[in-house]
Amino acid sequence: MNRRAFLRLTGAGVATFGLPGRSNGESHPATASRAGQAAGGSPEVVVIGAGAFGGWTALALREMGLSVTLVDAYGPGNARASSGGETRQIRASYGDREHYSRWAIEALERWKTREVEWGRRLLFGTGQVTFSPFWTPELEATKTVLDRLGVANEMIQRDELLRRYPQFNLDGIEVGHVVPSTGVLKAREACLAVAEAFDAKGGRSLLARATPGRRAGGRLLDVALAAGGTLPAQTFVFACGPWHPQMFPEVFDRKLQVVRRVVFFIGAPSDDNRLSLGHCPTFTIPGAYGFPDLDGRGVKIAPYWSSASLDPDTSDRVATPAEIARAHDYVAGVSPSLRGQPIVETRVCPRTNSIDSHFIVDRHPELANVWLVGGGSGHGFKHGPMMGEYVARRVTAQPTAADVDEMFRLKDRTFGGREA
């Protein structure tokens, strides 16, 4: 794998992602011969950001037959991005936000279909349980929605919880909500798989930092590449995750929060497999969520601790000594099996929150050919296949649901309560 296979573009050297199936940085013949390609060999669409939203959007547009270039400063699944890291959950529990439950159910099937198409395993069925001191309105709303959608789920009481899940400390827990059909996705590997599929189908991938370039007549003419040169296109999709406020500060000022989320992987004891894949569901407990031990990386615990802001380029991505000490104390209360076990890995992930936790898919207010896609708000990864198709339809002016368009609109409100 030659990650630095250089090619020439508009007079400047930029690297390809170096994914399997690419050779010497040359474009796929389908891209080079694409009828209707913009004059001068430039693509019809440039997608900036190869994470869950950008990668799937680029793939969907390419599968529609458009010439597409996918650009990312660090590559798909990189450690700085919100879509990096080892695993993400696919779940359908969203309270009364039925749209996301519907999308999650459909996304689950699409992930399975792509696994077959690509010949690689990305999804691991685990089931999911939410432990709670009492049956909350949120849990009741979730059950109502899932019942309406025909998704198997059940509410169980403490005695049954103790029988099914003896590996957990259930002090103070009286009720649980179980959804058997959910699971865990390989995040970094999935980003790479999407990018590889995009390349194999004639897309062009560039490892380069791209920022908005020249503007004229209410349109963006090109993106500027940090190594020099420009990349023109007819349409631009910025799916930049935590980089959005840097790309368009005039648009996203106080409309996105980029915060630091720390995740711990706790070594499971060798003589107890009850927290390993096949024996343990993904779980939500008061104050955290977690995944079973997958690939021997340890039990994943993600506490809902207050988070500071994070710079996606320069912030360190390791837990602090204070956080590690706090985590040791915390996980001892999650499961008796984890008491005294080592922390084998830590991750720090940027989480990009929108004002209402809805995704953002909207045109730039001043640039008619620029689409802004983001606001994953900690639950976006699983929806990649759905978002990709939805954004591609918006970009190509195909019909979409008006209520979803409104839900994803760039809101006037900002964090702090003032109008923009």
Predicted local confidence at residue 416, as pLDDT: 76
- Domain region containing 246: 6-81+188-255+357-407
End residue of a domain, out of 329, 354, 379: 354
219-to-170, 243, 289 alpha-carbon distances in Å: 57, 21, 43
**Same structural domain, 348 and 361:** no
Is 43 inside any structural domain? yes
| Mean pLDDT of all residues in 250-262 | 95
41 is a domain residue:
yes
Query: Does 21 have pLDDT greater than 70?
Result: no
**Phi, psi at residue 13, to the nearest 5°?**
-85, 125
Residues 261 and 231 in one domain: no
CA distance 373 to 51: 11
pLDDT band, very low/low/confident/very high, at 14 (cuts 50, 70, 90): low
Both 232 and 275 in one domain: the answer is: no
Residue 373 falls inside a structural domain: yes
Please, what is the average pLDDT of the chain?
91
The reply to whether 180 and 193 lie within a common domain is no
**319/251 same-domain check:** no
Mean pLDDT of 382-406: 98
How is residue 172 written in tokens? 């103070």
Q: Which distant-in-sequence residues (6+ apart) come within 8 Å of 18 by Cβ? A: 1, 2, 3, 4, 5, 75, 207
- Rounded distance, CA 365 to CA 17, Å? 31
Per-residue pLDDT, 315 = 95
Which domain CATH number covers 343?
3.30.9.10
Question: Could you say which of 332, 354, 376 is where a domain stops?
Answer: 354
Within-domain flag for 101: no
Query: What integer is the mean pLDDT of 359-383?
Result: 97
Q: Is 412 a member of any domain?
A: no
Residues 283-293: what's their mean pLDDT? 96
Tens of pLDDT along 51-95?
999 999 999 999 999 999 999 999 999 999 999 999 999 999 999
- Residue 86 included in any domain: no
Closest CA to 211 of 38, 45, 49: 49
What integer is the mean pLDDT of 1-6?
A: 29
pLDDT digits (tens, 9 = 90+) for 89-137: 999 999 999 999 999 999 999 999 999 999 999 999 999 999 999 999 9
What pLDDT was estimated at residue 20? Answer: 52
- Does one domain contain both 241 and 315? no
pLDDT above 70 (res 184): yes
In a domain, 327, yes or no: yes
- Listed range (31-45, 61-75, 184-198) with the worst mean pLDDT: 31-45
DSSP H stretches of helix in 182-259:
187-200, 244-247, 249-252
**336 and 365, same domain (yes or no):** no
Number of domains in the chain: 2
**CATH number assigned to the domain comprising residue 55:** 3.50.50.60
Cβ within 8 Å of residue 369, ≥6 positions away? 219, 220, 234, 235, 236
260 & 393 share domain: no
pLDDT at 25 over 80: no
Residue 98 within any structural domain of the chain: no
My answer on whether 198 and 61 are in the same domain is yes
Average pLDDT over residues 403-411: 97
Q: Give residue 9's pLDDT.
A: 33
46 and 176 co-located in one domain = no
Judgement on whether residues 282 and 344 belong to the same structural domain of the protein: yes
Whether 43 and 129 share a structural domain: no
Quickly count: other Cβ atoms within 10 Å of residue 220's Cβ.
Answer: 22
For helices 187-200 and 52-63, the axis angle rounded to 10 degrees is 20
24 compared with 241, residue with greater pLDDT: 241
Query: Which of 354, 372, 393 corresponds to the end of one domain?
Result: 354
pLDDT for 205 beyond 50: yes
